Amino acid sequence: MPELPENEAQRLTLERECLNRTIGAVELGDDVTYIELPGDNERARLVGRQFTETRRHGKNIFAGSKTGPWMTVHLGMTGRLIPFDAPDDPPDKTKLLIRFEGDRRLAFRCPRKLGHVRIIDDPDAYIADQGLGPDALGIDQEVFVEVFGKTRSAIKSALMKQDRMAGVGNLWSDETCFQTGLHPETRADALSEKTLCEVHGAMQRILEAVVKTGATYSELPDDWLIRHRRKGRNCRRCGGTIVNAKVGGRTAYFCDKHQAK
């Protein structure tokens, strides 16, 4: 599932390609029965308006203007926002198509139907209504230590709880544990304040580095877990072996040596 860095890359794409263009039409694609998309009246609210700014909070992307309305997109497992120009056809699996005046188009492609698009009035109110915690790139160290120091869950699971902190999922929780040498099953409330500060710092450094590459994993350092995140691979940091286990219902990948319990 796309996490914070992937969503930030998509937000930047919208910012570069789709701002300050008048919306001429917002249309549904094919096979949209099992995906949440705006209805006729909601789509009509965007027609004649422009996206003049973008935002992101956790895994949620927002495009709109100071006076609204806003479009919020969740990419789900495989969703992607794809700008293109007519006369090219929309990509396959397009669920929503925005036609700007002129040739520019924006397609929301979502093969697995697990994402959604909603029309809202205010991003801050939406974030509060969804019960999302602070954004993982913006959460203050003191707040992080306070929140996670009281969390009884395994550290991997705790990092993924969107009501505590928004934006981190399976990949980057594993990478954070890997780079701090923590076994993913270690309880968050068992960690010292010093260790929690280290987790916070490592997580933000990781996310910032991935954002800087545009979420291009091949440009990340070779000794990161993400480059060799498969069972049986050699750990590029200590010579151990990458293993996996279920943690909180999700598959965690970690080194059996420098992340041992």
Which of these three, 129, 162, 182, is where a domain ends? 129
Evaluate whether residue 246 is within a structural domain.
Answer: yes
Q: Could you tell me which of 139, 159, 156, 167 has the C-alpha nearest to residue 3? A: 167
What pLDDT score was predicted for residue 178? 98
Q: For residue 198, what are the contacts with CB-CB under 8 A and spacing of at least 6?
A: 180
| Confidence (pTM) | 0.94
- Same domain for 112 and 157? no
Assigned domain for 229 exists:
yes
Tens-digit pLDDT profile for residues 72-100 = 999 999 999 999 999 999 999 999 999 99
What distance in Å separates the CA atoms of residue 31 and residue 37, rounded to the nearest whole number?
12
Long-range contacts, stretch 35-42, CB < 8 angstroms, 24+ apart: 35/95, 35/110, 35/113, 35/114, 35/115, 35/116, 36/116, 36/117, 36/118, 37/95, 37/96, 37/116, 37/117, 38/96, 38/117, 38/118, 38/119, 42/118, 42/119
134 found inside a domain = no
| Bond before 69 cis per omega within 30 degrees | yes
Exposure of 109 by Cβ count < 10 A (0-12 exposed, 13-18 middle, 19+ buried)?
buried
Indicate whether 38 belongs to any domain: yes
Instruction: Give the 3-state secondary structure of residue 146.
Output: helix
- Do 124 and 147 belong to one domain? no
Residue 65 inside a domain? The answer is yes
Q: What is the pLDDT of residue 30?
A: 86
Q: Is residue 145 domain-shared with residue 247, that is, in the same domain?
A: yes
**106 and 152 fall within a common domain:** no
Closest Cα to residue 51, out of 63, 69, 43, 67? 63
Backbone angles phi, psi at 15, to 5 degrees: -65, -40
Is 107 found in the same domain as 13? Answer: yes
| Residue 136 forms part of a structural domain | no
> What total of structural domains would you count in the chain?
2
Is 123 found in the same domain as 9?
yes
Residue 261 is assigned to a structural domain of this protein: no
Residues 160 and 227 occupy one common structural domain: yes
Residue 175: how many other CB atoms lie within 10 Å = 24
Question: What CATH number corresponds to the domain at position 100?
Answer: 3.20.190.10
Residues 122 and 158 in one domain: no
Tokens representing 51 are: 């996206």
Do 210 and 231 fall into the same domain?
Answer: yes
Query: Could you tell me the CATH number of the domain that includes residue 234?
Result: 1.10.8.50
Q: What is the pLDDT of residue 129?
A: 98
Q: 1: helix, coil or strand?
A: coil
**Amino acid (1-letter code) at residue 7:** N
Residue count (the chain): 261
Choose one of 83, 103, 129: the last residue of a domain.
129
Residues linked to residue 23 through DSSP beta bridges, in sequence order: 100
Query: What residue numbers bound the domain in which 243 lies?
Result: 141-255
Residue where one domain finishes, among candidates 108, 129, 150: 129
The answer on 92 and 13 residing in a single domain is yes
Same domain? For 163 and 220 the reply is yes
pLDDT of residue 248: 93
**195 in a domain, yes or no?**
yes
Whole-angstrom distance, CA of residue 223 vs CA of residue 189: 28
Query: pLDDT value at position 217?
Result: 95
Name the token pair of 33. 């029965």
| CA-closest candidate to residue 204, choices 174, 178, 176 | 176
What is the chain's mean pLDDT, rounded? 96
Q: Do 147 and 112 share a structural domain?
A: no
What does each C-alpha distance from 186 to 146, 156, 165, 241 come to in angstroms?
A: 17, 8, 18, 19
Per-residue pLDDT 10s for the chain (261 aa) are 799 999 999 999 999 999 999 999 999 998 898 899 999 999 999 999 999 999 999 999 999 999 999 999 999 999 999 999 999 999 999 999 999 999 999 999 999 878 999 999 999 999 999 999 999 999 999 999 999 999 999 999 999 999 999 999 999 999 999 999 999 999 999 999 999 999 999 999 999 999 999 999 999 999 999 999 999 999 999 999 999 999 999 999 999 999 998
Q: What pLDDT, on the 0 to 100 scale, is given for residue 140?
A: 97
